[in-house]
Amino acid sequence: EADEAGQAAASDADLYAELLANSVTDTGLITTHHMGERWFLEIPADLLGRELFWYSELAEMPASFVGVAGLQVGSRMVKFERMNDRIFVRDLSDPLQKRSTLPVEPGDQPTSEEKQEQVSPAIEAFSLPTVLAALPIAGETPDGALVIDVTDVFASDLTDFSAVPMLGMSGIQVVGAAPDRSFIQSIKTFPRNLEIRSFLTYNVAGDISSTSVVVSHSITLLPDDPMMPRFFDPRVGYFTISFDDFGATDAAGSVVREFINRYRLEKADPGAELSDPVKPIVYYIDRNWPDKWRPYIKQAVEDWQVAFEAAGFSNAIIAMDAPSVEEDPDWDPSDTRYSVIRWVEQPHENAMGPNTHDPRTGEILSAHVLVWSDVLKLIEQWYFTQASAIDPRAQTLPLPDDLMGRLLRYAVSHEVGHSIGLRHNHRASQVFTIEQLRDPLFTAEYGTTPSIMSYGRFNYIAQPEDGVTNIIPQIGPYDRFAIHWGYTPIPDARTPGEEWPTLNAWAERQRDDPFLVFGGEDLASMVDPNVLTENLGSDRIEAARLGIQNLERVMGHIVGATTYLGSDYSKLAEMYDAVLGQRYGWLAAAIKLVGGVEEDRTLAGLGNVEFHRVPRERQQAAVAFILENLQTPQAFLAPDVMDNLAAFAVTSSLADQQHGLLDRLLSGFRYNLLAEQAVLDPANAYPLVDYLGDIQAGLFAELQDPAPQVDPMRRALQRHYL
């Protein structure tokens, strides 16, 4: 046995000597060796069993793959574990879903394990970590590190980090990666992370063609001292991680708990009311951004500084240009050490603000805000349809760069809000009154909505005579409140549970300040007329009336704005469809009043009632308003527009929308809401018989005239009803 051990040691020494002599070696968290086509890693002995975060995303792909650049392929919390002659990569993510709260005795300081609500031994048997990968051990270094060959593993499609679902999103169905055309493009090591780029080629299913992508893998050492988590409260909109708490003392059996996602911010001067953080949140503006947009993107990030000041932090969030290749050749936007605002030149009208976070605590480790170049089309479309009635700059397209930059700043600031942990607040855009939104002084201070995390967009309610000029969303009262609630340190609390009295007191401020309320994309949003997207103002009917009035003004300059000498009419068609879409959306929002249920977010024992049903008179007013707008809207059939759109079927979009509004009124879902209100709140209910009678009477109101005149589109709507 001694001879065998000696021979093994000699063999390991020979292998290691060969690696050092014939490979390119780099040192960091995990030492790497590149020898020919093979890649080797040294796993130090003290890294075995430690918690790592493995994150992967699509880094490069063909031009036909639209809307998936930079999107997450997979993420797991893992550990390396030796099993004889192999290293197992064990998945710790699923076990994190089962935890048991460990009590902390009064006067004790919580340990790292107590901070993250560690798993108890009683449930470990039901939380067996899966083996994600098995890496063969090729040898051992003199200092005890294990040398593994990762070439074949990372030159293949890893099941739990597979790019196949992403390819399917672009309509490409593939079979497994072809080993003869797949390889490791690069491996880079840093003090706390390892970055691997895999070039993978797939055969397309049912075809002789193939396609290739680059998947980026980041394996990062999680913080040795986990951040103390903060419990979620449904009154404040944060993204969360969730788990089953088997140690709950406030319920029989397990309870679902949630921690919010947030960056770790600690005051450099803990005693100061306002202090710089020990480590600020830094966003890099990636190298691909056009220079003309860079100042607006920097401002979009740093607009959030005022919100962090409400939490006691100065200079908490900053933006800077990514280093050039000459300054830092190893800098990579997919590296999980960096938070990055990325410009993706693909025909995809969207932006996103995802983050990667510690699955133990919710601590945000980094964020990759993705901005596809064609989002410029979308925000131009929004601004033209919603604002050109009161902003002369928008009455000629394309919009000037300074205005487009300001709109891009708004869109990116919204996505940065997501990346720092905030969910959409779709109630915020319905908080300001119509009078406030038409007031130049009020809007100069508050903009269009209490939260940039709403989908309120631009002030379509203000009329030309009002003199309102600040019509673009900005960081608002709710945003400052939410960041204060989520990020303000509570130094006396030693556990998440001990923070609750303070957090509850902060959340209770919503009772006295409607600008601080939250409404998200939860079940109640289906029926709550105060939780809406693409809408503004507290009065659904008046907001829609004023918005449509402005759309009629837009129809007066739409041809001049979208055409020029020698142009075609494609831009006219695009903007006409957008105008109709705005009208339909505002009217559909008014229909939510019918059978509507308004949510007042609260918690048990605080003295509030959670749900209130919309009174009958508001429902009847909404029905009357919709019936009025189901008359054929001649302003949207202007000959100078319709005669330049297409040879035929030019009225079908408007007719289909009229039918769609009627269908919403007559849906079974709406009937059920009305029937339920008749049971629960009969005094305020809108009886179904009365409701249907009002609709029928309104649809055929012309028949009361001695000589009724019914235009063809109106007759088609009446036939649709029958």
Please state the rounded mean pLDDT for residues 219-248: 91
Please state the rounded mean pLDDT for residues 568-578: 97
| Residue 602's pLDDT band (cuts 50, 70, 90) | confident
| Residue 67's pLDDT band (cuts 50, 70, 90) | low
> How far apart are the C-alpha atoms of 688 and 679, rounded to whole Å?
12
Q: Both tokens of residue 626?
A: 């919709």
Please, which residues have CB within 8 angstroms of residue 415's CB and are 6 or more apart in sequence? 351, 352, 353, 369, 370, 371
Segment 110-113 long-range contacts (CB within 8 Å, at least 24 positions apart)? 110/228, 110/494, 110/495, 112/224, 112/225, 112/226
| Contact assessment for residue 117 and residue 102, using Cβ atoms and an 8 Å cutoff | yes
Q: Is the pLDDT of residue 569 over 90?
A: yes
Q: Is the pLDDT of residue 70 over 80?
A: no
- Phi and psi at residue 644, to the nearest 5°: -120, 5
The pLDDT of residue 257 is 87
First to last CA, the chain: 92
> How far apart are the C-alpha atoms of 455 and 379, rounded to whole Å?
12
- Phi and psi at residue 197, to the nearest 5°: -115, 120
Q: Is the pLDDT of residue 520 over 80?
A: yes
> How far apart are the C-alpha atoms of 474 and 471, rounded to whole Å?
9
> How far apart are the C-alpha atoms of 627 and 713, rounded to whole Å?
14
What is the b/e burial string over 313-352, where b = at least 16 CB atoms within 10 angstroms of the residue's CB?
Answer: bebbbebeebeeeeeeeebbbbbbebbbbbbbebebeebb
| Contact assessment for residue 185 and residue 213, using Cβ atoms and an 8 Å cutoff | no
| Contact assessment for residue 170 and residue 66, using Cβ atoms and an 8 Å cutoff | yes
Phi-psi region of 183 (alpha: psi -120 to 50; beta: other; left: phi over 0): beta
Instruction: Count other C-beta atoms under 10 Å from residue 251's C-beta.
Output: 8
Q: Is the pLDDT of residue 65 over 80?
A: no
Q: How far is CA 339 from CA 319, 432, 458, 648, in A?
A: 10, 34, 28, 50
Q: Is the pLDDT of residue 123 over 70?
A: no
> How far apart are the C-alpha atoms of 13 and 22, rounded to whole Å?
14
Q: Is the pLDDT of residue 117 over 50?
A: no
Instruction: Count other C-beta atoms under 10 Å from residue 455's C-beta.
Output: 17
Strands of 538-679, DSSP E: 597-599, 611-613
pLDDT per position as a tens digit, 628-666? 999 999 999 999 999 999 999 999 999 999 999 999 999
The helices-and-strands tally (H runs, E runs) of the chain is 21, 23
Residues paired with 54 in a beta bridge: 76, 219
| Residue 126's pLDDT band (cuts 50, 70, 90) | low
> How far apart are the C-alpha atoms of 25 and 22, rounded to whole Å?
9
Residues paired with 256 in a beta bridge: 244
The pLDDT of residue 109 is 46
DSSP sequence for 672-692: HHHHHHHHH-TTT---HHHHH
| Contact assessment for residue 388 and residue 394, using Cβ atoms and an 8 Å cutoff | yes
Element containing residue 299 per DSSP (H, E): helix 294-302
> How far apart are the C-alpha atoms of 109 and 722, rounded to whole Å?
72
- Give percent of the chain with pLDDT exceeding 70: 92
Phi-psi region of 315 (alpha: psi -120 to 50; beta: other; left: phi over 0): left
> How far apart are the C-alpha atoms of 86 and 152, rounded to whole Å?
14
Instruction: Count other C-beta atoms under 10 Å from residue 704's C-beta.
Output: 8
Q: What is the 3-state secondary structure (H, E, C) of 616-645?
A: HHHHHHHHHHHHHHCCCCHHHHCHHHHCCC
Average pLDDT, the chain: 91
| Residue 115's pLDDT band (cuts 50, 70, 90) | very low
- For the ranges 302-306, 344-348, 592-596, 639-643, the lowest mean pLDDT is seen at 344-348
Where is pLDDT greater, at 247 or 605? 605
Residue with tokens 């590149």: 34
Please state the rounded mean pLDDT for residues 416-435: 98
The pLDDT of residue 178 is 87
Please state the rounded mean pLDDT for residues 404-415: 98
Residues paired with 133 in a beta bridge: 89
DSSP sequence for 125-179: TT-PPEEEEEEEEEEE-TTSPEEEE-HHHHTS--GGG-SHHHHHHTT--EEEE-G
| Residue 108's pLDDT band (cuts 50, 70, 90) | very low
> How far apart are the C-alpha atoms of 339 and 318, rounded to whole Å?
11
Q: What is the DSSP letter of 468?
A: -
pLDDT per position as a tens digit, 492-504? 999 999 999 999 9
| Contact assessment for residue 718 and residue 708, using Cβ atoms and an 8 Å cutoff | no
> How far apart are the C-alpha atoms of 596 and 128, rounded to whole Å?
46
The pLDDT of residue 105 is 38
> How far apart are the C-alpha atoms of 114 and 112, rounded to whole Å?
5
Amino acid identity at 188: K
The pLDDT of residue 106 is 37
Residue 129 has, within 13 A of its CA and on its CB side, a CA count of 19
| Contact assessment for residue 240 and residue 260, using Cβ atoms and an 8 Å cutoff | yes
DSSP sequence for 300-316: HHHTTHHHHHHTTBSS-
> How far apart are the C-alpha atoms of 155 and 198, rounded to whole Å?
6
The pLDDT of residue 621 is 98
- Phi and psi at residue 138, to the nearest 5°: -90, -20
| Contact assessment for residue 340 and residue 70, using Cβ atoms and an 8 Å cutoff | no
Q: Both tokens of residue 163?
A: 């790019």
Amino acid identity at 171: G
> How far apart are the C-alpha atoms of 688 and 694, rounded to whole Å?
10
Please state the rounded mean pLDDT for residues 518-533: 94
Q: Is the pLDDT of residue 421 over 70?
A: yes
Please state the rounded mean pLDDT for residues 468-481: 98
> How far apart are the C-alpha atoms of 26 and 329, rounded to whole Å?
15
pLDDT per position as a tens digit, 91-105? 988 767 766 654 433
Residues paired with 40 in a beta bridge: 33, 149
The pLDDT of residue 347 is 86
Please, which residues have CB within 8 angstroms of residue 386's CB and are 6 or more apart in sequence? 457, 458, 459, 460, 547, 550, 582
The pLDDT of residue 246 is 76
The pLDDT of residue 22 is 81
| Residue 121's pLDDT band (cuts 50, 70, 90) | low
The pLDDT of residue 542 is 98
Q: Is the pLDDT of residue 296 over 70?
A: yes
Does residue 108 sit in helix, strand or coil? coil
Q: What is the DSSP letter of 82?
A: E
Residue with tokens 């009724």: 708
Q: Is the pLDDT of residue 690 over 70?
A: yes
pLDDT per position as a tens digit, 136-193? 999 899 889 999 999 999 999 998 898 888 787 777 778 778 889 999 999 999 989 9
